[in-house]
Amino acid sequence: MMRNSPLALIFHALFSIFMVAPLVVVCLVAFTDKGYLSMPFDGASFRWFKEILERPEFIEAFWFSLELGVVSATLALALAIPAALAIGRWSFPGRGAINAFLLSPLMIPHLVLGVAFLRFFSELNINGTYLGLVLAHGLMIMPYALRLVLASTSGIDPTLEHAAQSLGASNWTTFKRITLPLLLPGIASGWVLAFITSFDELTMSVFLASPSTTTLPVRMYLHIEETIDPLVASVSAMLILMTLILMALLDKFFGLERLMVGKGH
């Protein structure tokens, strides 16, 4: 077995610290007892976590973002599953172009998407509506779900489906009893990643949100425009905790490494 050199270990350690340090600082600031951003070295407090419960606009924005993320991720997955099966299982003219087209939202800056959707939805009179946000978020997060479902598709042995059909199973039964369970790790990880991406989206949502459809990231952004206090840090710490819990559950039931490579050990 090859081992990393001491220099490589030092590099990876420094890189990990560089990535994690800002998140740690945000979580520490959330426990300050001051009325401004500071480290809680002279006294920790849950003051700003309690403040969240006294801000109904943040609570409403949280539940709205949660519902929007669930609906958008489900919509994205409903589009990603048939697309992944078609692209990953069959060879047909234009397959590469279709795959590139479906993944194109990853290559377009969210600022550009926000401006484009603002103009397009204004023509359809759905800008600032719940429907407009669902459509925009579903399109933006669909490539994340598609990539992970494609990874699971590549690990399916076609002979299993052929064997089921040779024994008299219909196409729907084969899909339900054979294909779908094998795709489940990719479906679960794709849904979770799409949900997290939708829940955390800010840049595009700023252009599409309205007073009645304000997501939590947009609410935090509007709050920062007025004042900078540890309330935003406490909300951010809660979001970090929620993300870690989701990733831990995903790792427990499916295994993150298995989900990323699309195959089991």
Instruction: Please state, for a pLDDT cut of 90, what percent of the chain lies above it.
Output: 23
Closest among 70, 86, 80, 88 to 190, alpha carbons compared: 80
In a 3-state reduction of DSSP, which class is residue 32?
strand
pLDDT tens-place string over residues 69-105? 999 999 999 999 988 888 888 888 888 888 888 888 8
Sketch the domain layout of the chain as residue ranges. Answer: 56-261
CA dihedral in degrees (240, 141, 143, 177; nearest 10)? 90
The mean pLDDT of the chain is 84
pLDDT tens-place string over residues 191-222? 888 998 999 898 999 999 888 889 999 998 88
Instruction: Please state, for a pLDDT cut of 70, what percent of the chain lies above it.
Output: 93
Judge contact between 61 and 219, C-beta under 8 A: yes
Angstrom distance (rounded) from CA 162 to CA 147: 25
Amino acid 265: pLDDT: 40
Judge contact between 121 and 132, C-beta under 8 A: yes
Angstrom distance (rounded) from CA 255 to CA 250: 6
> pLDDT at residue 264 above 70?
no
In a 3-state reduction of DSSP, which class is residue 252?
helix
Whose tokens are 């990733």? That residue is 247
Q: How far is CA 124 from CA 90, 128, 131, 132, in A?
A: 36, 11, 11, 9
CA angle (184, 190, 196) in 5-degree steps: 135
pLDDT tens-place string over residues 130-183? 999 999 999 999 999 998 888 888 777 777 877 877 888 787 888 888 888 888
> pLDDT at residue 1 above 50?
no
Q: How many residues in the chain?
A: 265
Q: Which CATH number fits domain 56-261: 3.40.50.720, 1.10.3720.10, 1.20.120.140, 3.90.1180.10?
A: 1.10.3720.10
